[in-house]
Amino acid sequence: MRTGRYESSSGNPLGTAVTFLLIGIGAGAVAALVLAPKTGRQLRRDLKRGYADAKETLQDWSEEAKDRARDVSARVRDVAERGASLAEELREKAEPVRRAVTRR
C-alpha cells in the first residue's frame, strides 16, 4: 500500500492533474464569490463575463483538440498506407525466393 502520493486508477497522471486543477479552480471561484465585496448586479455581470470567457476558451481548446486529432489521424493513415505498400513490395521481392525454395 502506498501512502503520501495519489495514484489514479487509470494510471494517467495528466488526467489526474487536470482533474485536480479543475477542482482547485472551482473551489477558488466559490471562495471568490463568497468573499467578493460586490453588489449583486456587479457580481452577475462578472459571472456572465467569466462564463462567456470560459465558454470561448473551451471552444478554442476543443477546436485545437479536433485539429490535433485530425493531424494524428492523417499521420496514422499515411503510415498505414506506407506500411501496406512496403509489405506488398516485400511480398513481390520474396516471391521468387519462395518459389525457388518450394521447388526443391
Residues 6 or more apart whose CB falls under 8 angstroms from that of 102 comprise: none
21 & 44 share domain:
no
User: For the chain, which ranges sit under pLDDT 50?
Assistant: 1
30 & 43 share domain:
no
pLDDT of residue 103: 80
* Whole-structure pTM value: 0.45
pLDDT of residue 104: 67
pLDDT of residue 90: 87
pLDDT of residue 15: 80
Nearest to 23 by CA among 11, 38, 6: 6
Structural domain including 22 reads: 1-35
64 & 50 share domain:
yes
Radius of gyration of the chain (CA): 28
pLDDT of residue 74: 93
Return the C-alpha cell found at 27: 473551489
pLDDT of residue 9: 54
Q: What share of the chain is helix, strand, coil (3-state, %, to 5)?
A: 85, 0, 15
28 & 7 share domain:
yes
* Structural domain count, the chain: 2
